[in-house]
Amino acid sequence: MAPKKKSVKVLRCPSCSELVRFSDEDFPFCSDRCRKIDLGKWASGVYKISSPVLDPEVLEDLGVFGGGQSKSSESDDH
């Protein structure tokens, strides 16, 4: 039985798609320039992490509960 070869995972820089090794100084980027480009995209809002709002108090403040009315408008009698 022949010994199994270890598969090398090929990784690419998320900014420019150049091949990157795990041992590279700027991993997972190919260079400091690509690292800064990626940071700039996060800072400018190009990249976002979104998840549903699950906190009932936040949803209530946004007017999601109660037919779209917030707490302040419910107390006003017209």
Domain-located, residue 61: yes
Q: Which residues contact 47 (CB under 8 A, 6 or more apart)?
A: 41
- Tell me how many domains the chain contains: 1
User: Which of 6-15, 40-49, 54-63 is least confident?
Assistant: 54-63
What confidence tens digit (pLDDT) does each residue in 11-42 have? 999 999 999 998 889 999 999 999 999 999 99
pLDDT range class, residue 70, cuts 50, 70, 90:
very low
Domain-located, residue 78: no
Per the confidence metrics, is the pTM higher than 0.75? no
Domain that holds residue 24: 11-68
Domain-located, residue 74: no
Domain-located, residue 5: no
| 13: nearest Cα among 1, 22, 3 | 22
Domain-located, residue 25: yes
Domain-located, residue 2: no
Average pLDDT score over the chain: 79
Domain-located, residue 59: yes
- CATH of residue 53's domain is 3.30.50.10
| 27: nearest Cα among 42, 7, 13 | 13
